[in-house]
Amino acid sequence: MKSLELLVERIILSSRWLLVVFYIGLVLALAVYAVSFAFKFLKVAKSVFELGEAEMILAMLGLIDAALVASLIVMVMISGYENFVSRFDEAEADAENEVSFLGKLDSGSLKIKVASSIVAISSIHLLQVFLNVEQYTDGRIMWLTLMHLAFVVSAVMLGFLEKLMSVTSKNDLKDKG
């Protein structure tokens, strides 16, 4: 019976390597998104003298939004791989290629960073809507604002819960020590 248990445990632990398929998919998605970003940038650069100030601001906000989404993808790939699949080999990583959050993001911290990034992306999108207010109905603006507020409340609640969990963990360690 013990050998069957060990086999099941090995299979379950080995299954984490299936996540690599998702992370490679995210790498490919990031590459496709980079191509999309390059085309957006070229479109903005080509019409730099034709766009008004408000249109240029909207275009720049779109580029910033794309950069935030790309950063979010990278953060999820690296920290997800490190948390759930395998640690990156720090001995081979040189100072130039080192990522500052490597090994420091647990799943709770990652959730907060992802939620914060979603709030930032939503904020930029909402600002774009407000700068183009004549193209939207009042009802649509209301719903977009409510969705943004839902993202903000969710991020705050995740932060609160993470803080609560860290205090609980510290108290548990004190009780055991």
Q: Do 119 and 84 share a structural domain?
A: no
Decide if 2 is inside a domain.
Answer: no
Decide if 44 is inside a domain.
Answer: yes
8-state DSSP, 101: T
Note whether 15 and 77 are within 8 A (CB). Answer: no
Q: Do 60 and 35 share a structural domain?
A: yes
CA distance 161 to 155: 10
**How many Cβ atoms sit within 10 Å of the Cβ of residue 47?**
12
**How many Cβ atoms sit within 10 Å of the Cβ of residue 18?**
9
Phi-psi bin for 91: left (phi > 0), alpha (psi -120 to 50), beta?
A: alpha
Q: CA 97, 102, 105: angle at the middle one, nearest 5? A: 155
Q: Do 130 and 82 share a structural domain?
A: no
CA distance 69 to 74: 9
Q: Do 172 and 118 share a structural domain?
A: yes
Q: Do 64 and 38 share a structural domain?
A: yes
Per-residue model confidence (pLDDT) at position 29:
96
Per-residue model confidence (pLDDT) at position 98:
63
Last residue of a domain, one of 76, 105, 134: 105
Q: Do 115 and 101 share a structural domain?
A: no
Per-residue model confidence (pLDDT) at position 102:
59
In the chain, the number of structural domains is 2
Contacts of 122 (CB under 8 A, 6+ apart): 147, 148, 151
Q: Do 85 and 29 share a structural domain?
A: yes
Reading the block at residue 10, the tokens are 């090995």
Last residue of a domain, one of 45, 76, 105: 105
Per-residue model confidence (pLDDT) at position 173:
63
Per-residue model confidence (pLDDT) at position 177:
57
Q: Name residues of the chain where pLDDT drops below 70.
A: 90-107, 169-177
Last residue of a domain, one of 105, 132, 158: 105
Q: Do 79 and 113 share a structural domain?
A: no
Q: Could you give the C-alpha distances from 100 to 68, 75, 159, in angstroms and in order?
A: 17, 11, 21
Task: Give the residue numbers spanning the domain of 53.
Answer: 18-105
Q: Do 72 and 82 share a structural domain?
A: yes
Q: Do 32 and 100 share a structural domain?
A: yes
CA distance 160 to 141: 28
CA-based nearest residue to 125, from 66, 49, 41? 66
Per-residue model confidence (pLDDT) at position 37:
96
Sign of CA dihedral 139, 141, 142, 146: positive
Decide if 4 is inside a domain.
Answer: no
Using a pLDDT cut of 90, give the percent of the chain over it: 38
Per-residue model confidence (pLDDT) at position 97:
62
Q: Do 126 and 88 share a structural domain?
A: no
Per-residue model confidence (pLDDT) at position 100:
61
Q: Do 126 and 82 share a structural domain?
A: no
Decide if 7 is inside a domain.
Answer: no
Decide if 49 is inside a domain.
Answer: yes
